[in-house]
Chains A and B, each alone.
Chain A
Amino acid sequence: MLTTADQAYLLARRSVVRTMRQPANIIAPIVFPLMLLAVNSAGLRAETRIPGFPTNSIVAFILAVPFIQGALFATMNTGTDFARDIQTGFLSRLSLTPMRGVVLLIGQLGGTITLGLLQAIVYVAVGLAIGVRFASGPLGVLVLLAFFILVVLAFGALGLYAALRTGSGEAVQGLFPAFFVFLFISSMAIPRNLMTHGWFRDVATVNPVSYLIEGVRSLIVIGWDGEALALGFGIAAAVAAIAIALAASSLSGRLARS
């Protein structure tokens, strides 16, 4: 009898192999966020002259965005892959093995996290290569990686939930623009305290994505900001817990095996 860990490892390995064989699923989550980093850094350079702006390096400021954007890509890829397993009947095949239901989620998320770690390492390396100095030091980079894994876990679980609810890869991909809206109505491009008072600032303040970005940003440009980290980790953990609970509940309905 295989242990839960053995089963999860087998499925995580399959998830990684699948992704490696779809180059677009590796290139897009790495290249597109870095392209957005380049565009935003060039276009928003003047922001650093605003009094109260937290850093004089726009690249350091914007570098937080690829981490969250990359996690959103992970959401889409995880959800799409899982929906494809439902559509092809592969989920039913797995259901006929002695595998525990929850292992399906753990395995899929394990693969997503493994690839997410690769993304994060590339973002950090690119940041260092273009001159960004992490204010929190090497330990901060490790904390950043841990935080990114938590965000990928949370968003990946949302992708699984969407896949389980819809059973359609196309439907999961259709949700991607909606997730992206959250990114654009956050503090992605400017600190919240420098936004003019109005609806955008209000929306950015209630948007959880703002706190995820600010958690990453604090480690890069501020150093050790306990409040930003607590809010970032807290919100990511809450989203992960809710999304995993929803996905697990939907999985039991989807499997419906006795």
Chain B
Amino acid sequence: MSGQLAIEAESLVREFKKGPRAVDGIDLAVDPGEIYGFLGPNGAGKSTTVLMLATLLPPTSGIARVGGFDVVKHGPEVRKTIGAALQEAALDPLLTGREHLRLQASLQALPRNERNTRAAELLERVGLVDAADRRVRGYSGGMKRRLDLALALVHRPRILFLDEPTTGLDIQSRTALWEEVRRLAKDEGVTVFLTTQYLEEADVLADRVGIIDHGRIVAEGTPNALKAEIGRPTVEVVPADPAEGDRATAILARFGEPVASVRGIAVRLHTGQADLAEIVRALDGEHLAIAQLQLHQASLDDVFLAKTGRSLEGADDDGEEQPLGGLAMEPA
């Protein structure tokens, strides 16, 4: 394994008593400054992997190094190098946000004169200045997540583990957290290892994605490369009159080869998204009324489907099915 990597693992395994292998021989190689998205359904082994890499759970077998340190032999050195926001925001409901940050700064042995400054700086950065002196039990889910992130950053770690950081957050909080993660990687060169079950999150945030299922990495690469592996986009048309199905099939056949569709007629486009305008013109020219027309980009869910034979659980609502131009087309 190379000493240049921020995170590396080789045949990493974690078994639990009377259970299957939660992590079943995974290999990882994450570069410094990279945002690595670890995507998978609930129970796939994401959190177990993070706990092992963060030294909180010993591996059953295999090797892992974080920041160049072996997670088993050099736990204290690894912990100095990393920050982590685990799956549940690990906060004390009776302390204020500022008290959390001061305690963390003290336990991380920041110089005494720097603790308050660092707490204030992080409160500002995560947008919690106004709530800084309120007890955490009154915080919203998004505020707790942001404080959790701030706590993970107190000692300026080079490597950051975020375990499902946006689960349960509203879109505004999610977007704000994404921006901060991007900034950390871009401006401060922090390596981010982020687990998620949201396709969109992995797609827009991660430089590279590893897809994990049943403890094994089933696919890895940049989001675009993974999607390109699966193929071109498809277009699906639902005629307003079901009896017009044959006519719609004939029109669409000019633009691509037929693929299975539950709701209507679908084709995988010959030449990509550029055909869409032509399809609309052709349908209109033939006076075919349609109830719905959708462009379906190859998504990470399609990648997951192709690699595992099933859809990514719990991610259906966050799929990448795009209505035409971002809009659902009403009947002509």
Question: A: which residues have CB within 8 A of B?
Answer: 1-2, 6-7, 10, 14, 17-18, 21-22, 85, 88-90, 92-99, 255-258
Question: B: which residues have CB within 8 A of A?
Answer: 54-58, 71-76, 78-80, 82-84, 86-95, 99, 103-104, 106-109, 135, 151
Partner of A98, one of B80, B89, B94, B95: B80
Tell whether A258 pairs with B71 under 8 Å between CB atoms, given A7-B107, A98-B79: yes
Tell whether A90 pairs with B109 under 8 Å between CB atoms, given A256-B57, A258-B58: no
A98 near B90 (CB under 8 angstroms)? no
* Chain A hits for B86, CB < 8 A: 89, 92-93
Most buried by B among A22, A98, A99: A98
* Chain A hits for B82, CB < 8 A: 96
B106 near A257 (CB under 8 angstroms)? no
Partner of B94, one of A10, A21, A257: A21
Q: How far is the CB of A258 from chain B (nearest CB, A)?
A: 4
* Chain B hits for A6, CB < 8 A: 106
Cα–Cα distance between A257 and B108 once the two chains are bound (Å): 17
Q: How far is the CB of B141 from chain A (nearest CB, A)?
A: 14
* Chain B hits for A17, CB < 8 A: 94-95, 99
B79 near A90 (CB under 8 angstroms)? no
* Chain A hits for B56, CB < 8 A: 92, 95-96, 255-257
A2 near B109 (CB under 8 angstroms)? yes
| B135 nearest CB neighbor, chain A only | A21
* Chain A hits for B92, CB < 8 A: 14, 18, 85, 88, 90
A258 near B75 (CB under 8 angstroms)? yes
Contact sample, A vs B, 7 pairs, CB 8 Å cutoff: A10-B103, A88-B91, A94-B107, A96-B84, A98-B79, A255-B56, A257-B79
Q: How far is the CB of B195 from chain A (nearest CB, A)?
A: 15
8 shortest A-B CB distances, which residue pairs?
Answer: A89-B90, A258-B75, A93-B90, A97-B107, A21-B94, A18-B94, A258-B55, A89-B88
* Chain A hits for B107, CB < 8 A: 2, 7, 10, 94, 97-99
Cα–Cα distance between A98 and B109 once the two chains are bound (Å): 8
Q: How far is the CB of A192 from chain B (nearest CB, A)?
A: 42
Cα–Cα distance between A3 and B89 once the two chains are bound (Å): 28
| B74 nearest CB neighbor, chain A only | A258
Partner of B108, one of A89, A98, A256, A258: A98
B90 near A97 (CB under 8 angstroms)? no
| B52 nearest CB neighbor, chain A only | A258
Cα–Cα distance between A118 and B90 once the two chains are bound (Å): 30
* Chain A hits for B135, CB < 8 A: 21
* Chain A hits for B106, CB < 8 A: 2, 6, 10
Tell whether A97 pairs with B104 under 8 Å between CB atoms, given A1-B109, A256-B56, A258-B71: yes
* Chain B hits for A95, CB < 8 A: 56
Q: How far is the CB of B148 from chain A (nearest CB, A)?
A: 8
* Chain A hits for B93, CB < 8 A: 88
Add 8 more A-B contacts to A7-B107, A98-B108 (CB < 8 A).
A10-B107, A88-B93, A96-B56, A96-B84, A97-B107, A258-B73, A258-B74, A258-B75
Q: How far is the CB of B115 from chain A (nearest CB, A)?
A: 11
* Chain B hits for A257, CB < 8 A: 55-56, 75, 79
Partner of A88, one of B78, B79, B90: B90
| B148 nearest CB neighbor, chain A only | A93
Cα–Cα distance between A214 and B3 once the two chains are bound (Å): 65
Q: How far is the CB of B103 from chain A (nearest CB, A)?
A: 6
Tell whether A93 pairs with B88 under 8 Å between CB atoms, given A14-B95, A18-B95, A21-B94: no
